[in-house]
A and B are shown apart, each in its own frame.
Chain A
Amino acid sequence: MQHLPILPILLPMLAAVLMLLPPLSNSITRHRTFAVLIMISTVIVSALLLLTSHQQGTQMYVLGGWQPPFGIVLVADRLSTIMVLLTTLLGLGSQLYACAGDDNDGMYFHPLFMFLIMGVNGAFLTGDIFNLFVFFEVLLIASYALLIHGGGKQKTKANVHYVILNLVGSSIFLFALGILYGILGTLNIEDMANKVRLLDVHEQSLAKTGGLLLLVVFGLKAALLPLHFWLPRTYAAASAPVAALFAIMTKVGIYSILRVHTTIFGEDAGALASIAAPWLWPLAILTLIIGAIGVLASPSLRMTTANLVIVSVGTLMLAIAMEREAATSAALYYLIHSTFITGALFLIADLISKQRGKAEDRYVTARKLNNGRIIGIAFFIAALTVVGMPPLSGFVGKVLILQSAEGVAEIAWVWPVVLIAGLASLVAMSRAGTTLFWRSSGENTNSSPPPRLKLLAIALLLSLSPLLTVFGGVLTDYTNQAAAQLHDRSQPVYSALTKGDQQ
């Protein structure tokens, strides 16, 4: 299986192209069957890739046979493979949900969905920073189209903001890449990490500019504090399966910060070591606080969920700012948990809003839910998980992050902020639950019970949370090893690359 590392990119791409061609085009049923089949096989391929890279060491895929650092490489190490598996699983869940009817609001839902999956997988797998930009653009242009899918005033308005912001972000990304290439003379991430140590003093400040510009771009994608304003409205405007899939998009930004600022500007970068940390600390804490305030102030369940995404971004950034193996490992665990659970919450919010007529998912008195029991159980599990109550995965993730704080100063900053944000989420979610399920007037007459497929999709995403707890030992072992691989710069993948450098 020499070509395994590229399959998570190639499968969705080919599937998307095939769906635009005659035998499959013009028939939504064929689109659905084909897309779900391809998605399941992508999940299998990603799982295989994860196992291979876990057991046999990092898989490298040299595109076109051009040896690194000159050609583009795909690097499937522990971190990137777990992210790819996470993407495909979340993709499968939201796709199943979409198949129950949301994909028929406009044309080409499934091809666009596949292109988005391809872009996200590519961004995770690539080992070349310009290629990262290209995959960012792939996923962005697919997300622009998906966000506006179905049409409507709200979506157009949110999309205009989202597109303009991201286009400006893309140009800043290119400026940063130009600066870094001009100084380092390479775009391969590992090779950049090797060369950044050898810079002259007068070149260091330029490289620092480039590195911090990258932080701005990734911060925009990840919705870090001053750049987070686009997120709540965008996520609230998107249709449910799209919003659920977008839960991975902020994680792409977080992954990129993790990758670039621990590999290139990590501990070994000499004078440029940890240039992001002084910025990440205050911004992460402020993001958490703003997110918590947003959670409390949200008028609808979808808005609350969007603000919970910001809370999770803040928590993850805190863990990344600690720049320690244990913290990175905890961040990985929390990242997996929060992606699944916010995705599930977006889907549940949509189910609820479909049942309540004009009130949708706003926190007002409305008619009773049809099939309230099943939705209620799903909401209860999701709320417990997202707030971080034992025994579900949110609790484990938070404990891991709290444990990884060392020293009085770190504990004094991290513990209260994370715990108070958790309390704010608890208050907001209990208010949401009581209002949505108990404060009802009149009987529900005309809305039908939710389709089985939607319930199945939500069950799939929710069941992953207890599984994350049950297999917590295995998973934390894995994330520990992934973090060790990311932080330890003397592992085989790097020597393989430097060999390519010498040839």
Chain B
Amino acid sequence: MEAIYAFCVGILTTCGFFLVLRGRTFTVVIGLTLLSYAVNLFLFASGRLKLDGAAVLGQSVEYSDPLPQALVLTAIVIGFAMTAFVVILAMRSRADQGNDHVDGQVPVQQNNSRFSNKRNS
């Protein structure tokens, strides 16, 4: 279970960072969302993974650490608000600048073929 869990968090983080480094605000927003998913899973795992463990004492024989769950809840709420803000900001930026590039202008393409246009943007 730990291996799969760690693998998933790793994949999410890698994809998140890759997308954040792209040039268009849309992919960056998706990247930030993936990063926040990865972070939430990671925080949850910091209380150790445990099956059938209630977070309340006396509810089951095994109990799990309730604090990471509270932390994740806080992080989810904050991440949600931030995602909403960054989506609105990206739309505003699209309206103000006339394009959705993070620098406000699309860099001049070296190669004119249509495929490379799509891939480099």
Interface residues of A (CB under 8 A from B): 130, 134, 137, 141, 144, 148, 152-153, 156-157, 159-161, 163-164, 167-168, 170-171, 174-175, 177-179, 181-182, 187
A-B contact pairs, 10 of them (CB 8 A): A134-B78, A144-B85, A152-B96, A167-B32, A171-B32, A178-B68, A179-B46, A181-B47, A181-B68, A182-B48
Contact A163-B104, Cβ < 8 Å, known A168-B32, A168-B35: no
B residues in contact with A160, CB < 8 Å: 25, 89-90, 93, 102, 104
B36-A171 in contact (CB<8A): yes
Which residue of chain B has the shortest Cβ distance to A180 in the bound complex?
B46
A153-B32 in contact (CB<8A): no
Nearest CB of B to A442, in Å: 34
A167-B82 in contact (CB<8A): yes
A159 contact from B71, B81, B89, Cβ within 8 A:
B89
Which residue of chain A has the shortest Cβ distance to B16 in the bound complex?
A171
Number of interface residues of B (CB under 8 A): 34
Contact A148-B89, Cβ < 8 Å, known A178-B45, A182-B46: yes
A181-B78 in contact (CB<8A): no
A164-B32 in contact (CB<8A): yes
Known A-B contacts: A153-B97, A160-B102, A171-B38. Give 18 more (CB < 8 A).
A134-B74, A152-B96, A153-B96, A156-B89, A161-B102, A163-B85, A164-B20, A164-B32, A164-B102, A167-B86, A168-B32, A171-B35, A171-B36, A175-B39, A177-B43, A178-B46, A182-B48, A187-B67
A164-B74 in contact (CB<8A): no
Nearest CB of A to B67, in Å: 7
B75 contact from A153, A167, A174, A187, Cβ within 8 A:
A174
CB contacts under 8 Å to A, within B41-77, are 42-43, 45-48, 67-68, 71, 74-75
Nearest CB of B to A141, in Å: 7
A residues in contact with B36, CB < 8 Å: 171
Which residue of chain A has the shortest Cβ distance to B43 in the bound complex?
A178
The 0/1 profile, CB within 8 Å of A marked 1, for residues 16-40 of chain B is 1000100001001000100110110
A residues in contact with B86, CB < 8 Å: 163-164, 167
Residue from the set B35, B36, B45, B90 with the largest chain A CB neighbour count within 10 Å: B35
Nearest CB of B to A165, in Å: 10
Contact A156-B35, Cβ < 8 Å, known A168-B20, A178-B42, A179-B46: no
Which residue of chain A has the shortest Cβ distance to B42 in the bound complex?
A178
B96 contact from A141, A156, A163, A177, Cβ within 8 A:
A156
A residues in contact with B67, CB < 8 Å: 181, 187
Which residue of chain B has the shortest Cβ distance to A164 in the bound complex?
B28
